[in-house]
């Protein structure tokens, strides 16, 4: 993969991940984490390694809001933990 293709892949996955966090309403919670930079780096790496970007994009097109990421999402567990933290704080 050439440099420009890699940069385009980074841009695409970054956009998908941000849209997923917005759809799940977990972006602010992630930003509050003490080690958010490392958490975000690992999440970005998982997303970049995912081969489901087309499925992800289609899923996001069909969901303005959601309680859970699709099962194939490599950040599903991270997003689920953030959702549980939000729910615990508002209970």
At residue 63, does pLDDT exceed 90?
yes
Number of neighbours of residue 25 by Cβ within 10 angstroms? 15
Average confidence score pLDDT of the chain: 96
Global pTM value: 0.92
Give the pLDDT confidence score for residue 84 in this predicted structure: 96
Total number of domains in the chain: 1
Under a CB-based contact definition with an 8 Å cutoff, are residues 21 and 27 in contact?
yes
Q: What is the band of 1 on the pLDDT scale with cuts at 50, 70, 90? A: confident
Domain holding 24, by residue range, is 3-90
- Return the SS3 of 74: coil
Give the pLDDT confidence score for residue 91 in this predicted structure: 82
């Amino acid at each position: 993969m050439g440099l420009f293709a890699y940069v385009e892949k980074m841009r695409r996955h970054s956009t998908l991940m941000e849209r997923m966090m917005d759809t799940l309403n977990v972006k602010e919670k992630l930003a509050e984490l003490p080690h958010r930079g490392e958490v975000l780096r690992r999440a970005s790496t998982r997303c970049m390694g995912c081969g489901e970007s087309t499925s992800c994009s289609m899923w996001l097109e069909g969901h303005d809001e959601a309680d859970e990421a699709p099962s194939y999402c490599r950040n599903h567990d991270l997003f689920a933990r953030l959702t549980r933290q939000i729910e615990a704080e508002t209970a």
